[in-house]
Structure 1
């Protein structure tokens, strides 16, 4: 019970509690709330708008008029109606200048209501609103009822200038303005493109206009209940067939993932806790889509942000559905649990960018998937549709108005009119070029589907450039890579004209033949299959990467051939084949634990060289046991660089790219965020480590459900401290417990959920060398003694290094990077005394 004496305090606390929660989530550095034309401050909800008459330094204008309204509109809410009671009217170009304390993304919210005025017909006002870089608003889209227009802009200067420019003898006006800091990570460059023919360089620098923000299956969410003061409206008015959808609410089930990308700033729990789903009445035969239709402006691309949170399912991996935008598949067999670390009730958002809209409507649909295990169902919790500025930085239809930024002089006006005419001409010309390019691109795609375009020109007789729409412009010139070209006739001779009996493997790119060049060199010849999903881009990348790499633990490229529509890669021959073939699926002799450790160490050295050997890291993207090859001495070499990609710039943390890789090895964080780092290779290598230890496929659907995924299964045993229970039976009793423990810990760290928690490949290499030393350690007394007591008795190799650390250092200083990465890491163990030393 609350004492009556404390009741007042308690009620006061309740009234400010939402503000406390808000400030704990996000506090805007810049927070301008301006009531335009007002003579006194105005309170809206729990926010205080300052009269612009008190801030004359904000406003630069030729002439302005204060106007009051006695009108009332049913479209205005009781909270924000006071903001529409006054307006500032401009007879000429006028500017509000806001000092920006923290550069980055900001909200600009314009309150517009053309109320009745005795002197001015605001409903007929003809004007535009712009910042220094973007045109935001045109009165041609103005409504008769009060409306708040919301924009998200990236401010890069110390001042944000908002200009109101009347057209001709007309006027401009505004009722209220907000300029408020927004979280920079609210809009990032992690997005998918619905149509690959329409690309977008990135979203971070773009300006966006919020067209629709909808709460599916729930009520209106007001700014009071949103950490960023947004308004979410119900979805019923947008449903094409309301009877096909039903609402569901379970707000208490929403659990934001700690450290996840989707936070309360992305959308509040009142959005993620409500949803619209198929009204299937638990009928297993249900087969229909739930569709919403939204009005949009043609000629713009749109960012469509989907908000999902599974608060309706009873178990994981039970809800599969398809997502469509304008009848195009946006996501097939979508399983929300794979994006939320296999947890129910965890919010997740997904961004897609549309092609240029050709109609004035956009449709979003969800429907059942054939993979559904229970009755068919599909859900959607929230949706945001944001217009992306065009190539001229404009968010309005038509040309950039001349009045923006114009002075009163006829000279300035004439200059701007000239610019506008030029812009109009450029737009028309650009439109014609765009249509022609689209037609050529379409024809090119049609040709590509029928034939496989070679790299070379004039049947391979001239040097050529690999840069095209298929690649990033890598050049193979006579000066750089000409020495790698091998004539087709030589390849045919080396493979006995591609004799099928000489095939030693088949991969995603095509068949691999054993061959022998005229000088007696044994080679592996990979011949591309034109029907393969891998094609020119992978071919180019492989050549570009391997032609510059030389390392003992990377497979060497001997040459390539691109004559007569062929795509052929020629490598050094690896006598013992793939690591995978020595672990399972063949009759090859089993590898000892020492041999397996040395293979893992060699592979780690190769990957470590890729990540650190150049100014920019190279990320392999397809690390797996089938891409680790062994020579006649079982020395490991990393192969297949067709999916490789250069890492981020120095001032970046990741590369945003479409997800590629092999199922079972794929980094889940990379899959969720489409953000590629070196740690994605580390995760894949962790899977390989368990594959080496357990000698089984990474995905085996024939096993019981809990065993299907090797990484998940092995991690459960590792966390229980009983990894020895699942190791390859051929290794039973042959691995020292200390070596196994260190190996298991290394694999576990590689498979951390988040890349920042995973070790570098250098650290992985260090730990694997350590595991090998523990396996070979000679201990006086009990051979099963704890490793903390045996490091002092490591092999003589380590003891000798310990005696003369300076000699070791001198030797390293005179060694090239290539040689250094091949040197045993045991030579840097001189500081070790106990196993917990690192």
Structure 2
């Protein structure tokens, strides 16, 4: 391990040392022909000068026969309109021949704009083919009326000349061209091999393959013109290709921050402006989902069927704050071509390093549209994010169902040889695996295996959760035979029962959609009524979800041994026929969230909000302190705080809960789970979970209660999207009044508000050691409630006496509480901002658990 780390550090050092030497002069093409056809005039477009073909030396360009010159009566209206004011028209096969100084790969760009001239109309008269060195580039081209078009090809020129030939399709038809570019580009712009999409493998022969650019897209930036590309390329912005732009955000950095690295991308691969901009998954949109939910952004691009395509994806991590924080999936069509791809692995953990990945999509899989998607990783510790900087799609000219160009016999032979060799190796491996499997099975027959928990769902009756029978009636199914299958999940009576599936179907009218009262990551929640008139909430899990299975087990194992008036009680469960159903007490008032925003319910009063927060804090305090090992909830949010008929709060949803650290440890290492907007930043960075992670999440809930707005709202201005960031900044600026829910702001006593806000701020401290324990938070909320109730409007007694009377029970052993003033009470309670009353208050809370 140490050696691997040392090796990585050395590689990073080498890269950093080479960075200054990498800054080299821009690529200068040996051949650079920019020809304006059908005229003697010149034109300058994007800083490049096109020379009229009438004025070119015969040794350089030979348009023979000349054909007919045509002049447009008006410009095309495009940015490069000067290229389309003239054209050379051919009524018979004709060609341009270019003298090549440096054989190798060249861009051939052909500009077309059909216009009316004299008595002719190119849009109606033109239909032709174009070839270069005998390779058919364009077949049966009929230009669209009034639309400029550029057809770009990369061809490998072997000799000293390059002939670009135009041939009308039939008698009466003509060929034409407005401008031609023949420009050298680096031979290593395209490597010889690439990864195939379906099936996964290697494609050989790209270095000699002719390519036509179909799309060249820059993510997150305006159009890049040839003026800003050393190879004269045009890059279109990606908005027109995004399937759903609302799930994306654009990022950018200064191009000077890029770290060009030897062996990866160069400024000729793509200009710096491509790598300095990116489209990123807008992860704020999944605030209501858990962090493990997958999320994709997709681009759809047209591509004619019948050809294979080379896809080049450009990456540069300009969004991560940590060098190795970006992991995501890359899809081409329905294939995951880069599962759990981590850019830092290719860049030696150096940020902002440009690189690219090439993929070949066979003709049989290219069916008119090509989709490219970036999706969040399914790894447990991966933050749901993803990024793409650029995308190029190139048609492989002359390609068929998935091999190299048919004209490249050498490459084809290599591919066939590779397939044969691969098949032989695969056959050998298959035989070896078969033999190993047989040996393994024989060994297992000789040795009786121990029973181990299966990774797939097994009934809890086969687990170690208990087997004592109970006789509670759930309807027809609770006969003597059914009672034999009813088991307890804990030692205390009523801790939980296995409920027959038939009873739950009856209670929910066959899981009728009209009975649904909520939907979450685990599954749907139905309202039900058992035969004894008990109202219940029935949470039915997704049977195909392994994550759902884990949550199912966790809820049963925890709630079967936890009983507290501020925790939602588990009534029973069902595991028949592979079902994962949990049955809870019914909470008539729903979630705290629904009473704060996004519903028609009337707003809760400030006192009601304080009561709810206190109840939730009591539930969390019991989780953290009620057993030898703390239980960390991991998904504290307003949607998981439920209210009963009397608005008493209870904490719910323990599917992500973890047993906390031993007494001699401070944390438990675990994959990051939680909900966006509520997630403890320290837990996310270090993957080290403590009970202070719950405190942070609860601090966000306190802000929700105060502000009555979602924790993530992408419809707001950027600085307001994240509630915690926006609210804490406003508080630092002394703008408390601007964030309080205006529906109740006039009813809050300033002292109560200040104590509440101070408590929330301390919960949101960046580091866990700076946050109070949940018991201290609970004490401060109780105190905020007493300060609110101390109002002259709510009692005829003196404020300070009421505060003293209501808080003196916390100080039965404190001899210093004597004068009844608020100042003395505060002093004897300790420094309120210092949260020093944990042990005293914890005893009070623990004593009320049995209520």
Q: TM-score, normalised by structure 1?
A: 0.46
Q: TM-score, normalised by structure 2?
A: 0.45
